[in-house]
């Protein structure tokens, strides 16, 4: 994986994944999209209990790198100077798969947001389980301003996060909103002082990481997979997950710790 594009470090129970193109405001190109699943695979270890995703420099991410979009989709190579449509669809599908890998890891992923969080950058943030934003951050999906739509899970994840009406308003106006408004509509979980977003993300990550890791991972899957299902099928997912958790060593440890009024020592098995 290109160290110049993505930086990884592991400190105890937390893993940190950083977008590392500060000179481009972390604009996302094909190399970065391919590096994200590699980074997830690298930190998908038993000792890692939560992941923090953040951006180096002045912004979380300015969105798609338009030079990459032209080059990687063959926009100049298609008949009549237009894009090669098969190549373009392959590019979008690979981009979706990259963010899906982030979304589906059975560990909590916290996005630490600051500066500009737009377009594909916001789509990336939406693939996280929770988002902490620094005051002054600006978030939005401006794709319709250039005649496109959010296509890397933007419409689906944004609608799932803030609801139909809010999603339509944000996407169809292409409006960039302040962090305080993003918190009000549920787009981010909390807003903290400028420069404190990484520390706040760490606090939230540690709060999640202290719990039984298998249970946390399955709870995440139930919530994600159950969205849109009927109530009875959703509850069936709960039943199946619980029937597998009841026999784990972590459940026995958690129950014993509760009875003995001590902190549990979970092992992830």
User: Which residues carry out catalysis?
Assistant: 123, 143
- Other residues' Cβ atoms within 10 Å of the Cβ of residue 217: 17
Other residues' Cβ atoms within 10 Å of the Cβ of residue 94: 15
Token pair 């706040």 is found at: 200
For residues 123 and 65, the answer to whether their CB atoms sit within 8 Å is no
Question: What's the rounded Cα separation, in Å, for the pair 64 and 19?
Answer: 13
Q: What is the DSSP letter of 146?
A: G
Spatial distance between the Cα atoms of 69 and 258, rounded to a whole number of angstroms: 53
Q: Which residues of 11-30 are buried (b: 16+ CB within 10 A; e: fewer)?
A: eeebbbbbbbbeebbbbbbb
Q: Hey, which residues does 190 pair with through a beta bridge? A: 132
Residue of 94, 92, 120, 98 lying closest to 26 (CA atoms): 120
């Amino acid at each position: 994986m290109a160290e110049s594009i993505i930086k990884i470090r592991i400190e105890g129970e937390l893993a940190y994944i950083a977008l590392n193109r500060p000179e481009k405001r972390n604009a996302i190109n094909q190399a970065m999209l391919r590096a994200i699943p590699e980074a997830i695979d690298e930190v998908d270890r038993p000792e890692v209990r939560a992941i923090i995703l953040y951006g180096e420099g002045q912004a979380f991410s300015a969105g798609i790198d338009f030079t990459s979009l032209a080059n990687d989709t063959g926009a100049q190579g298609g008949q009549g100077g237009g894009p090669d449509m098969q190549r373009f669809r392959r590019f979008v599908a690979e981009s979706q798969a990259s963010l899906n890998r982030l979304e589906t890891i059975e560990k909590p992923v916290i996005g630490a947001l600051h500066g500009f969080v737009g377009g594909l950058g916001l789509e990336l943030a939406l693939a996280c389980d929770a988002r902490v934003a620094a005051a002054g951050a600006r978030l939005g999906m401006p794709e319709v301003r250039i005649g496109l739509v959010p296509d890397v899970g933007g419409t689906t994840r944004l609608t799932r996060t803030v609801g139909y009406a809010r999603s339509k308003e944000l996407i169809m106006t292409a409006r960039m909103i302040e962090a305080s408004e993003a918190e009000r509509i549920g787009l981010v979980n909390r807003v903290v002082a400028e420069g404190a977003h990484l520390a706040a993300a760490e606090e939230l990550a540690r709060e999640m990481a202290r719990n039984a890791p298998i249970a946390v991972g399955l709870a995440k899957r139930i919530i994600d997979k159950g969205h849109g299902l009927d109530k009875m099928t959703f509850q069936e997912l709960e039943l199946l997950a619980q029937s597998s958790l009841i026999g784990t060593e972590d459940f026995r440890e958690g129950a014993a710790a509760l009875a003995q009024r001590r902190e549990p020592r979970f092992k992830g098995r």
